[in-house]
Amino acid sequence: MKYDYLIVGAGLYGAVFAYEAKKAGKTCLVIDKRAHIAGNIYCENIEDINVHKYGAHIFHTSNKEVWDYINQFAEFNHYINSPVAVYKDELYNLPFNMNTFSKLWNIRTPEEAKEIIDKQRAEYGVEDPKNLEEQALSLAGKDVYEKLIKEYTEKQWGRPCRELPAFIIKRLPFRFIYDNNYFNDRYQGIPVGGYTKIVEKMLEGIDVKLNTDYFEFIKENPDIADKTLFTGMIDEFYGYKLGTLQYRTVRFETEVLDCENYQGNAVVNYTSHEVPFTRIIEHKHFEFGKQPKTVISREYSSEWKPGIEPYYPINNDENNELFAKYRELADKEEKVIFGGRLGNYKYYDMDKVIEAALEMVKTEL
Ligand code: UDP
């Protein structure tokens, strides 16, 4: 049987595309090398708790169209992400806001906070920040940088902050009000019942083959589809012939604990390099769970190597230049399109993945 589209990767990008393609009357086969659908938003039920197996996913967007789109597939709860950060024996609210500043300097008013930060900015900041360190110092000053940013970032990315792009830190809000909401977006929440169900719904009535490696599958089935949507690593697609793009990977140590509430919050970041993991996720708190037990995951960050799962593209100049060369090859393809975090080598959030997939749908279908 021949399909209109072979979709490689049953993650969010592939699933949105497959859903829309089916609606437009196209036939699709979705394959994934893993044993389950939903890519990195996959949730596994443990002790009646939806465990975010590949790291915490909090849906947030300011795009009403995307919000309405995802709400077709699930109901969202009113979860607001408000992580806390532990630095040595101190605990701070995130993102950087009056609660953080008040704890750091024992002050109360925005005016007092601004005075301290302005002084530190003047001393350590620069006019035109060229890397993450300069960006952080120019935005938040030395104390925030040293206690809450520097070591955490270096653990997460495995590189000095001076060698990382400034945009990574621009993701985080910085505000002079008492507001611990980690995002500035208009819409936010966790799908009731977890993320896997969303992808299940998107893929309803579509052929899906799991445990299927694209590179082997296509050798045996070269004529399976007119076109391919590839959401894996673009450099791997081309056999790394122009060089290898760098990625970060994360590893989770997940434990079931015989207590109802371990850390009192879904996300606790450990910002000092003395602690080897970056954060602990307590999954039940994403859905206000009251189960008798709890499930926690310690998250460890490391450099990606072949054979393990890539999570984050490392969008520094060197990698972006290499990606641009792969992109040139990709643009010449008539039968293959690329999408998703790995196919586009972009640090996309879920809403941006949906936006990009719907854009692709418009041009492609
Ligand atoms: N970050 C930080 N300290 C924190 C949390 C985040 O310095 O306690 C910085 C860090 O550089 C990180 C970036 O902010 O890479 C983005 O963090 P976010 O939580 O958005 O990353 P993700 O959830 O995508 O891993």
pLDDT in tens, 25-76: 999 999 999 999 999 999 999 999 999 999 999 999 999 999 999 999 999 9
Non-local CB neighbours of 114 within 8 Å, separated by 6+ positions: 176
Atom number of ligand 1 nearest to Cα 156: 15
pLDDT in tens, 84-138: 999 999 999 999 999 999 999 999 999 999 999 999 999 998 999 999 999 999 9
pLDDT at position 1 is: 67
pLDDT at position 36 is: 98
What residues line ligand 1, using a CB cutoff of 6 Å? Answer: 85, 94, 148-149, 152-153, 156, 168-169, 171-172, 269, 271
For residue 85, which of 219, 357, 275, 342 has the smallest C-alpha distance? Answer: 275
User: What's the gap in Å between 51 CA and the centre of ligand 1?
Assistant: 21
pLDDT at position 107 is: 98
Single pTM value for the model: 0.96
Per-10-residue mean pLDDT for the chain, 365 residues long?
A: 94 98 98 98 98 98 98 98 98 98 98 97 93 96 98 97 94 95 98 97 98 98 97 98 97 98 98 98 98 98 94 96 98 98 97 98 95
User: What's the gap in Å between 23 CA and the centre of ligand 1?
Assistant: 37
Atom number of ligand 1 nearest to Cα 161: 11
pLDDT at position 339 is: 98
pLDDT at position 27 is: 98
